[in-house]
């Protein structure tokens, strides 16, 4: 017998009546039976709860009326439909049974066909009510605001999230129009366009700045859809709204940071970069002065690259960055990085060693991507290797061109076991007093943006850590 068949509980003290109902319903339902009220209540509260109960009235001990009354008083059983099937056929008895919460009343002797039809109908109604109840609970418990209006935009329903977000109670909102939330930040044409879309039977989606009851403003991502009857006529509108105030604040903060970095920092930096060229035109400078001025110019350009890279990282994190692929000679980029951080290597007496395992004789390694991104990757990885390396050790930089171009950077020292699974995560750092946890995260982000993969390998036996940049896949 299929397990999805409805379960029917027959409650009658006469075995003949139970048998007759069993024969009537056994092809459509799973049948269980109880011969007294106490047993019926126990079965109704069990894990295999019935979908409907057929209940006799005249039984010894607890009669059918008392059983029905008890069922309707319990939270776990009150929604189970009850049909009285009894020899008591007076209007008074029927009225009493229906007033106690029964959904139907069938007099004995009964027609099997009538019992089948009524049971089938009430089971279908019960299934529909359960589905409606389930959907209603979903709406009531939704974290998003859900509002239903009539065709004139009068609010007919608002879920609890509406009150939490706006401060208006359901009683205050019912009968009002959603315009009670208007902030004044959108003009009349904005709302006219929205109304034109939904009244034409289409879905409107967009972002709205609304105002709470206390006057505070908040942003919502809104979708408004028409609700149609079987004839295709619009009978309601339903709006689902998500609070995006935090996202808008972050977007605004990002814009502020970009403005500061693009204008407030880059404008004075232009002077720092350009003035050294004018100073170097002076023929009376000593060699030491020229070196200092050149250092200032190079530091300015380096800061400019850092600002540009920081802005690009914002776009990479949001998926908005589109790389401009070109052939980049990475050995030259590598040499630039090493020249810039050479003083740091010397202070720690760490020796960078370049090993070339190349099939070509030129000594060059060409990779597709953007030069400043390769610079950012190599700079972060080499600095990370230098900081992790013990004093007086080597940092090995290995270049390969077959079967695909690849770069690996190896240093002495191992990454702790607890850190390895999270090595490339943002803000993950270990053993560095001034570490930000952004170096390897940024390097992998830039690598992935250009279609490369960055992998960590730590060898506990050799006591080394290697980071390898290769073509993804």
As a three-state string, the secondary structure of 94-110 is: HHHHHHCCCCEEEECCC
Separation in Å, CA 163 to CA 63, 132, 158: 46, 22, 8
- Distance linking the first and last C-alpha atoms of the chain: 52
CB 54 within 8 A of CB 11: yes
Q: Residue 446 has what pLDDT?
A: 92
CA–CA gap between residue 17 and residue 107 (Å, rounded):
12
CB 166 within 8 A of CB 181: yes
Residue position matching structure tokens 């900081």: 387
Burial class (CB in 10 A: 0-12, 13-18, 19+), 279: middle
Among residues 216, 213, 215, 203, the alpha carbon closest in space to that of 245 is found at 216
Cβ atoms < 10 Å from Cβ of 396: 18
**CATH of range 142-243; options 2.60.120.620, 3.30.450.20, 3.40.50.300, 1.20.120.1200:** 3.30.450.20
Q: Residue 227 has what pLDDT?
A: 97
Q: Residue 193 has what pLDDT?
A: 96
Considering the domain delimited by 7-140, tell me its CATH architecture: 3-Layer(aba) Sandwich (3.40)
Compute φ and ψ for 301, nearest 5 degrees.
-65, -35
**CATH of range 326-471; options 3.30.565.10, 3.40.1410.10, 3.30.70.1290, 3.50.50.60:** 3.30.565.10
CA 397 to chain centre: 40
Helix H or strand E segment including 24: helix 15-25
Helix H or strand E segment including 274: helix 266-280
Among residues 95, 94, 72, the alpha carbon closest in space to that of 82 is found at 72
Q: Residue 164 has what pLDDT?
A: 95
Question: Mutual orientation of helices 91-99 and 64-73 as an angle, nearest 10°?
Answer: 20
CA–CA gap between residue 192 and residue 190 (Å, rounded):
6
CA–CA gap between residue 446 and residue 395 (Å, rounded):
22
CA–CA gap between residue 465 and residue 431 (Å, rounded):
15
CA–CA gap between residue 408 and residue 341 (Å, rounded):
18
CA–CA gap between residue 176 and residue 149 (Å, rounded):
9
Q: Residue 433 has what pLDDT?
A: 54
Helix H or strand E segment including 272: helix 266-280
Q: Residue 180 has what pLDDT?
A: 96
Q: Specify the CATH class of 248-318 in words.
A: mainly alpha
Structure tokens at 163: 């009150």
Tens of pLDDT, residue by residue over 427-439, are 777 665 555 567 8
Q: Which residues pair with 220 in a beta bridge?
A: 208, 243
Q: Residue 456 has what pLDDT?
A: 94
Mean pLDDT, 10 residues at a time, the chain of 473 residues: 80 94 93 95 93 94 94 94 93 95 94 94 94 93 96 96 96 96 93 96 96 94 96 96 90 70 64 79 86 83 74 81 92 91 82 89 89 91 89 92 91 89 79 65 92 93 94 73
Domain boundaries, the chain: 7-140, 142-243, 248-318, 326-471
CA–CA gap between residue 76 and residue 87 (Å, rounded):
29
Sheet holding 82-86, edge to edge: 30-34, 7-11, 52-55, 82-86, 104-107
Structure tokens at 45: 């509260």
Q: Is 162 helix (H, G, I), strand (E, B) or coil?
A: helix
Q: Given phi > 0 = left and psi -120 to 50 = alpha, else beta, which region is 31?
A: beta
């Amino acid at each position: 017998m299929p397990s999805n068949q409805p379960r029917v509980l027959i409650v009658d003290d006469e075995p003949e009546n139970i048998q007759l109902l069993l024969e009537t319903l056994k092809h459509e339902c799973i049948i269980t039976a109880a011969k007294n009220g106490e047993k019926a209540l126990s079965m109704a509260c069990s894990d295999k709860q019935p979908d409907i109960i057929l209940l006799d009235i005249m039984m010894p001990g607890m009669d059918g009326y008392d059983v029905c009354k008890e069922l309707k008083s319990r939270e776990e059983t009150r929604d189970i439909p009850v049909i009285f099937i009894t020899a008591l056929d007076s209007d008074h008895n029927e009225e009493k049974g229906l007033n106690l919460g029964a959904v139907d009343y069938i007099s004995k002797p009964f027609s099997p066909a009538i019992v089948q039809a009524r049971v089938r109908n009430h089971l279908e109604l019960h299934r529909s009510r359960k589905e409606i109840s389930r959907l209603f609970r979903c709406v009531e418990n939704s974290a998003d605001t859900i509002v239903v209006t009539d065709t004139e935009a009068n609010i007919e329903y608002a879920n609890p999230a509406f009150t939490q977000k706006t401060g208006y109670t359901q009683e205050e909102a019912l009968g009002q129009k959603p315009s009670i939330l208007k902030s004044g930040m959108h003009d009349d044409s904005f709302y006219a366009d929205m109304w034109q879309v939904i009244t034409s039977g289409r879905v409107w989606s967009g972002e709205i700045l609304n105002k709470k009851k206390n006057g505070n403003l908040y942003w919502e991502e809104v979708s408004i859809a028409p609700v149609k009857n079987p004839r295709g006529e619009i009978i309601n509108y339903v709006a689902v709204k998500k609070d995006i105030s935090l996202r808008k604040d972050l977007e605004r903060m990002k814009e502020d940071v970009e403005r500061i970095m693009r204008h407030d920092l880059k404008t004075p930096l232009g002077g720092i970069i350009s003035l050294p060229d004018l100073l170097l035109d002076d023929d009376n400078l000593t060699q030491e002065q020229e070196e200092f001025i050149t250092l200032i110019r190079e530091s300015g350009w380096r800061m400019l690259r850092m600002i540009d890279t920081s802005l690009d990282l914002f776009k990479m994190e949001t998926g908005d960055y589109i790389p401009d692929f070109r052939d980049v000679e990475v050995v030259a980029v590598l040499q630039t990085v090493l020249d810039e951080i050479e003083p740091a290597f010397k202070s720690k007496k760490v020796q960078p060693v370049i090993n070339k395992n190349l099939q070509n004789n030129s000594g060059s390694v060409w990779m597709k991507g953007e030069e400043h991104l390769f610079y950012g990757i190599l700079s972060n990885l080499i600095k990370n290797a230098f900081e992790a390396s013990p004093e007086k050790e080597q940092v090995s930089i290995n270049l390969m061109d077959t079967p695909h171009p690849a770069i690996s950077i190896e240093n002495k020292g191992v990454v702790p076991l607890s850190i390895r699974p999270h090595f490339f995560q943002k803000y993950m750092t270990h053993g560095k007093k001034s570490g930000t946890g952004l170096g390897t995260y940024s390097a992998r982000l830039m690598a992935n943006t250009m279609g490369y993969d960055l992998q960590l390998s730590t060898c506990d036996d050799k006591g080394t850590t290697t980071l390898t940049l290769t073509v993804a896949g």
